[in-house]
Amino acid sequence: MKQIILKDNVKDTYTNAEGASLSIQLKEFIKSGERIELSLSNSTPISSSFFNSSFGDLIETFGYEAVRENIKITGVTSSQAQLLKGYFDAYKDRSHC
């Protein structure tokens, strides 16, 4: 499993551009079938724009289950965990429509 440390791979966690940058990086691993551990340790708060351009794009491209199976998110604070859960649950609910 490849580890990616978020703060070392993006300039910020609030812009669409940086979210898209993360998405591009993660797509290559998912396409190759390599699982990823994405560490949010010491990262700044993540905006909805960043979520949409990174995780949202990945879910739209590969589907909810593929993203959940291939990306393990670690190093989260309790508030980040709540935000991630809410965000992924919203996409999960959309995928069942």
**What is the model's pLDDT at position 37?**
97
End-to-end CA distance of the chain: 32
Question: Which pTM was predicted?
Answer: 0.86
**What is the model's pLDDT at position 95?**
54
Burial pattern 43-62, b for ≥16 Cβ within 10 A else e, equals: beebbebbbbbbbbbbbeeb
10-residue block means of pLDDT along the chain (97 residues)?
Answer: 95 96 95 94 90 93 91 91 84 62
**What is the model's pLDDT at position 85?**
86
> Phi/psi class of residue 3: alpha, beta or left (left: φ > 0; alpha: ψ in -120 to 50)?
beta
Integer Cα distance of 65 and 39 in angstroms: 20
Boundaries of every domain in the chain: 2-95
**What is the model's pLDDT at position 17?**
97
Secondary-structure class of domain 2-95 per CATH: alpha beta
Beta bridge partners of 36: 2, 71
